[in-house]
Structure 1
Amino acid sequence: MTTPAAAAEPETGGESPADKPQDTRRTVRRLVALLGPYRLPTIAAMGCCVIGVAANTIGPLLLGKATDLIFAGFAGANLPAGLTKAEAIDRLRAEGNTTLAEVYGTVDLVPGSGVAFGRVAVLLAIALALYLVASSFMYLQERIAAKVVQKVAFDVRERVEAKLPRLPLSYFDRRPVGELLSRVTNDVDNLQTVMQQTFSKLASVVLALLTVLVMMLVISPLLTVLMLLSIPLSGYIVARVSKRTKPHFVELWADTGALNSHVEQMYTGHALVRVFGQRETALREFDECNDAMRGSGRRAHFFAEAIEPALLFVANLNYVMVAVVGALRVASGALSLGSVQAFMLYTTQFNNQAGEIGGVIGKLQSGFASAERVFELLDAEEQRPDPPDADRAEHVRGSVEFDRVSFRYTADRPLIEDLSLTVRPGQVVAIVGPTGAGKTTLGNLLMRFHEVDGGRILLDGRDIATMTRQDVRSRTGLVLQDTWLFEGTIADNIAYGLPGATREQVVAAARAVRVDHFVRTMPDGYDTVFTETAAVSAGEKQLVTVARAFLADPAILILDEATSSVDTRSEVLIQKAMTSLRAGRTCFVIAHRLSTIQDADVILVMEDGKIVERGAHGELLRAKGAYARLFAAQFARTAEDEEERPDR
């Protein structure tokens, strides 16, 4: 039977490994490995990227040639017809127009002729076609990349969902629910968003930088060297800022988990918050968490966004220097006007791509921080796997034996030491004792929510460690103090105890534990939907959990403080329901109210993880030991409460 785990003694846990910056290279390798199952679409996306970048890079070169044609046409129209290009240039030098002669020498002009608009039109048409091709393939690349990223995110969510059931209960004991939910939702969503924004962009940016650099070298190695002088400074800026960015994103996502945890706790316990007048305290704690998240978010995003404008500033300074030197090269005849124009277009592209890299790096720091938190969850130590040769027991009578069992939540704090206990099939065993004595832990060990450190637990003479957890738990029913019900109909909540149960089986279970009458008073009967605001008492909810356990038909039943949070009338109804539930089953009753376990076959008194007394109710009272003291103390408190109750 699938049920939430009983509350266990909490463990102390230090700072999570993912709350500190991890090895970025290892994180990158793991992120790349996630793309492994999608090699073909990834290669297709890269192919589209190559074609798109190549087409986009050729465009400025064609525009530069078109500029040279137009300039040559206007220059030729101002020169006498019949001269050769060399003769026209020599005449300009003889007239003292040396600079103009050098500039004319860089283009293919024909004296006396005008602009070759046909050739210009062809070049512009080719450039336009290339830009259309570039846009089309970039669009296709984005679509493929989006599908790949969505599939990767889907895989990560599936891995996280598959991982959670394999984690031991101790993992959840150490972490607030909100913080864990933040990893499963916020961090996975952020990882998906960052991959979506950077997966295709990073490849296209790097490829564009390389192709633009090649074209610039072809046009002018000198100008290329001048342009590259800014790279060391840009690299220094990126390295320094990135080093400070990632720790802030790690802090931001940790603060997000803390805020989610606080909101989850306050929402779950909002009634108690109001009853005890702690609304202002809750708001103050929320403000503190929110302020911490705002501060870490401001710092993280400031450094992440600071990279791009810093790189653009350096790039613009370099642009001015390249423009000045380029103009001098045109004036000296070393370069044509169109070549300088194309080079400046490439410089603009290079600077823009460099700025894009800065933005991508800033986003990647956020993605790496979330990825490390998700990977820390996926890498968490799992509970010991079930034995591969485990056999399923065909029939369980309900005999339970604890054979010299030892267990501790932390290595330096023993809880249960050398405990032995034998329970016959159908026997009702009550477990009492002060808080922290280990009562709930016995139930958790029997359900294999935790593994014993020493000794063994036998079910019908068979060590439960040799059985699968599902086999053990399917033979065990659990009713907790906390009435866990999901948002669904009453019938669905009862049927949760037996997958595939029919409506007839659900109604039969409800009747057996005296739930049917209460259900039929509801507006829609068994189809009434449970919600947070549903007008259902705690006792009625507990009755539904009892019916759920009855439907599962377990051989062993664990009742953990099942009546401690309900009123006296509800307690009577629940006790009658549990009497029906306990019939013919081995039953462990964990209780603080001693009045509810006086008819138990055996009562165990636990202190500090040990059984200090055992026997029937009357026998233990006559022994005047620990049980008698507990009973007397509880009876005295009850008498005092009755005396202090005002007359009505």
Structure 2
Amino acid sequence: GLVALGNGLAFGFGAYLLRTGAITIGTIYLFFHYTEMLRRPLEQITRQMQELQRASASVARISDLFALRPTAEARDGSLPPGPLRVEFRGVTFAYESDEPVLRDLSFALSAGQILGLLGRTGSGKTTVGRLLARLYDPAAGAIHLDGRDIREVPLADLRSRVAVVTQDVQLFHAPVRDNLTFFDRGVPDERILAVLDDLGLRGWVARLPEGLDTILDPRATLSAGEAQLLAFARVFFKNPGLVILDEPSSRLDPVTERLIERAVAALLRDRTGIIIAHRLDTVQRADEIMILEAGQILESGPRAALAADPASRFARLLRAGLEEVLA
């Protein structure tokens, strides 16, 4: 860079002055020595200026976030306890100005039933879960839980009754306790340990150096399976009436697979469930099957009936193997 160019010029000019007898070799050494002493602070200042620019951009983004105001209006009332009935009525949705991800989608799921949601990448499966959690509102149509439009339900109540467990588990650089309870100090340790025991994670916590007080490093502390189990554990502290599970598509070791299966069974017990399924084992849990394609229902119906019909799309998927076909 510029430093190398400057050193080159200084070396050439110093050699010229040395030849003419204007300076000695010691003077040239001192000049280069002082130049090297200046180079490091200048490089440090350059790095700090770059970091300052990045920090300024981050502060601007944070300011923009603080300036955002929710478009959802505050409402009165709450959803009833127990499993929730789900109904989509002519729902159409697109992200910003893109092509619609869901197109006039209508279906109903009875309380306590489990829906296996299938489809290729981009078919709209994940969007169904985001709309139910009201991360977005549909452009047209309505979504009802227990007969009530979710736009009429207070957001805090809706999100305490609808739990979404995704493949991408967000962990905090914080104690295990806070990662499980989302920093709710009102949850006693006895309840946390009971939930972990149900999920087969009690032994993992016992092996940690400080138990529930151990600080998690999201990049190194947990395997993918353990992180998924922690995400399941979070749901038990909310006790929702609807669970939306985007199950892991990655291969896990047999021990973790068994723990995941046990956790899913406990998670869906006495609750309405929507599973974005990638594996045959998970599909077998479903009471109903719905296959999406390009944001529309390609096929839906009771799982047993579709599996018994050799002409159905679902039966063909079972024969071919979900993992390969839906990848």
Shorter-chain TM-score bucket reads 0.7 to 0.9
Task: Spell out, residue by residue over 1:293-349, the C-alpha distance to the aligned partner (whole angstroms, 9 max, x if none).
Answer: xxxxxxxxxxxxxxxxxxxxxxxxxxxxxxxxxxxxxxxxxxxxxxxxxxxxxxxxx
Q: Matched residues in 2 for 1:634 and 1:513: separation? A: 28
The answer to whether 1:625 aligns with 2:312 is yes
How big is each residue's C-alpha offset from its partner over 1:274-304, in whole Å with a ceiling of 9 and x where there is no partner?
xxxxxxxxxxxxxxxxxxxxxxxxxxxxxxx
1:461 counterpart = 2:147 = yes
Residues in 2 aligned to 1:496 and 1:487: alpha-carbon distance in whole angstroms: 12
More helix by share: 1
Q: Could you tell me whether the CA contact under 8 Å between 1:489 and 1:527 is conserved in 2?
A: yes
1:386 corresponding residue in structure 2:
73
2:266 aligned to which of 575, 580, 593: 580
Q: Given that residues 118 and 289 in structure 2 are in contact (C-alpha distance below 8 angstroms), is that contact kept between their aligned partners in structure 1?
A: yes
- Higher-Rg member (1/2): 1
- Contact 1:538/1:565 (<8 A) preserved: no
Q: Distance in 1 between matches of 2:63 and 2:184?
A: 34
Counterpart in 1 of 2:87?
A: 401
Indicate the RMSD between aligned Cα atoms, in angstroms: 2.8
The residue identity in structure 2 corresponding to 1:536 is L
* 2:177 is the counterpart of 1:491: yes
**CA–CA distance in 1 between the matches of 2:271 and 2:62?**
43
Distance (whole Å) between structure 2 residues aligned to residue 516 and residue 563 of structure 1: 25
Q: What residue is the counterpart of 1:57 in the other structure?
A: none
Paired residue for 1:186? Answer: 56
Cα deviation per residue 1:131-175 (whole Å; 9 max; x = unaligned)? xxxxxxxxxxxxxxxxxxxxxxxxxxxxxxxxxxxxxxxxxxxxx
Judging changes above 3 Å, is the alpha-carbon distance between structure 1 residues 618 and 468 closer, same or farther for their aligned structure 2 residues?
same
User: What is the DSSP-based 3-state SS (H/G/I as helix, E as strand, rest coil) of the residue aligned with 2:319?
Assistant: helix
AA of the residue aligned to 1:386: E
Please say if residues 79 and 161 of structure 2, whose CA atoms lie closer than 8 Å, have aligned partners that are also in contact: no
Asked if 1:449 corresponds to 2:135, the answer is yes
Which amino acid letter does the alignment assign opposite residue 631 of structure 1?
Answer: L
Alignment correspondent of 2:321: 634
Distance 1:390 1:547, change over 3 A: same
Counterpart contact for 1:513–1:581, Cα < 8 Å = no
Aligned length: 273
Are residues 470 and 565 of structure 1, via their aligned partners in 2, closer, same or farther at CA, if it must alter by over 3 Å? farther
Larger strand fraction of residues: 2
Post-superposition CA distance 1:60-110 (Å, at most 9, x none)? xxxxxxxxxxxxxxxxxxxxxxxxxxxxxxxxxxxxxxxxxxxxxxxxxxx
| Residues 133, 163 of structure 2: 8 Å contact kept | no
Distance 1:549 1:478, change over 3 A: same
* Corresponding residue to 1:601 among 287, 303, 313: 287
Moved more, 525-534 or 584-593: 525-534
Alignment of 1:246-257 (within 5 A): none
Tell me which residue corresponds to 2:192.
506
Unaligned runs of 5+ in 1: 1-181, 190-369, 639-648
CA distance in 2, matches of 1:546, 1:634: 26
Mapping of 1:107-118 within 5 angstroms?
none
Q: CA deviation at 1:411?
A: 3.6
Secondary structure in structure 1 of the residue aligned to 2:261: helix
Matched position secondary structure for 2:180: helix
**Residue 247 of structure 2 contacts residue 275 of structure 2 at CA under 8 Å; is this kept in 1?**
yes
Which amino acid letter does the alignment assign opposite residue 626 of structure 1? R
Q: Which residue number in structure 1 is paired with residue 23 of structure 2?
A: none
How many percent identity over aligned positions? 36
Cα distance in 1 between the residues matched to 2:259 and 2:208: 17
1:573 Cα deviation from its structure 2 partner = 1.1
User: TM-score normalized by structure 2?
Assistant: 0.74
Cα pair distance change 1:563/1:498, threshold 3 Å:
farther
In structure 2, distance between residues paired with 1:396 and 1:497: 25
Name the TM-score, length of structure 1 as normaliser: 0.39
Corresponding residue for 1:435?
Answer: 121
Residues 9-67 of structure 1: per-residue CA shift (max 9 Å, x gap): xxxxxxxxxxxxxxxxxxxxxxxxxxxxxxxxxxxxxxxxxxxxxxxxxxxxxxxxxxx
Distance 1:614 1:507 in 2: 40
Relative to structure 1, the CA distance from residue 396 to residue 413 in structure 2 (aligned partners, 3 Å threshold; closer, same or farther) is: same
C-alpha separation in 2, matches of 1:426 and 1:619: 19
SS of corresponding position for 1:596:
helix
CA distance in 2, matches of 1:183, 1:571: 46
In structure 2, the gaps of 5 or more residues are: 1-51
